[in-house]
Structure 1
């Protein structure tokens, strides 16, 4: 009968446990590798007949890489920090000094360098012809080199929407809170997928169309909080026109029609085709939802002649303050009206001076003035 030395059994158990952990680690690695291979199958991301081997880079040609999207996370955090610093260190002191009601309207000074650049480069764009000829979005697809300007444009937009998601729980809850979540999620998925599948050109069109109206929305909110009613109303009408035209006319014709029909002239439908179109249709449904709200606000504006508060908003602090001021003003008007009515009734009954024209002496008697 063989005997084991003391301590040999625990050692063998440690070896077996170590081997089992190594096998589990290898199995996890194999599963992750299999999942990665399944996820990045070229039939999901590229048109038929095109593989990842056709997307090899060279010294002069670079294509989008999925790992580039990781840069949006630190950029989003940087934008959150910049936003907090700006709001607390710059916006709040300035608004306090200006009293939020300052009528100063600074006029932008002409900058010769920017005007020269616009005259030379922007009126005759040659680097991005797909902005004007939308069929160019599919010329050479998917072998379309990534330009540095488009790379940084994508990183900035993706970081911005990620920062909005990070701060969404801390912002004011509005009636369209769920729609905002759907919009941000669809936008982030659309930007990320279009980057990975090299839908850079069509993605650029989507972002430009959205940014066209957003640049009028924030100044409208600022002037609304400053209670510059006329300026706010004017900007809101401009924003409404740009939003309705860009989201209900230009977006369907330029983007949806482009991705649905023009792309079929180049390749057959595949998973990326259906996925991108589903996200774009989701955005269009949200455009219709917000357009209905805007049209209703414009209708109210045309009837009342002034802009009402944002229909999406629940009661905010500014609205509470304004309502409180209105209530105080109404109470004052009501007290004055009641005092006038009381004095007139007293004169009619007694034929003497009103009560507020009498002086009270220290002994409690009333002295006629």
Structure 2
């Protein structure tokens, strides 16, 4: 018997008994001949995967990616709040939103590079632009957004410091491009806040794939309530009227979107979103979102209540991203969550009469 590296994946095998050699002329007895003494050829089959390995390999995404999902949403939605604050002449909220967007996108870029392992891998991702790849498109959205947000925030910082930065002739250039840079960052705000949902839904991970029809709405609503919560925390209440309204809208969208998304999923795909550690995180997130939304609606004009509501909304958004990420990683551990939803979808296509394509054949 030989051994190889692959033997480490095989379960331990019981020692085989040696066969007794029949004597010359001895006839092998197989029973009475009527089938009454036949033994089953195999034991009862248990639903399991090959050698106990997962059918679908989960991506090696950990806490840095969950952080990136969270702060990316804050950055994108904050740029939209900054544009709205500019349009309604709320300079303090516009400045705070631009600085929040820049800080969040810098943290998110750092978390993404940390997950990649080597910084140069991020640069390698920008060598090509592949429209069919959510990751490639997302990398370019992130890079362009970060550049535009940096330019827009630089103008706010220079103004905040009474133009004491040693910019020289560059100050005129910065003032000239400040408006266009803000417009670019606000235009890319919604894609930045939601493209990660498309990225997760494009994988073969059961829970993420099953949630692909509603996850972008959940992430967009979650980003809205987080960015609004940041302004309730940072900006005086005299300017936060629109942020309070957005916070309430974000909470409603987050709750309705999550329940709608789960209703469109196979029960086994939705199971990790409701059970275990991911389910616990999402339940806490729901409670914090409701508390933060009520506080913003009823007590948002009080500075203390507004700050507490903003902190609750930020925490709720973070727990939503961590919960969804961990639910997907948990879903690949049970082979039933991979196979049974596929079989159910196949049966639905057959009942609908789709039997002539490369996916469905006649039953």
TM over 0.5: no
TM-score range, shorter chain: under 0.3
TM-score with structure 2 length normalisation?
Answer: 0.25
Larger Rg: 1
TM-score with structure 1 length normalisation?
Answer: 0.24
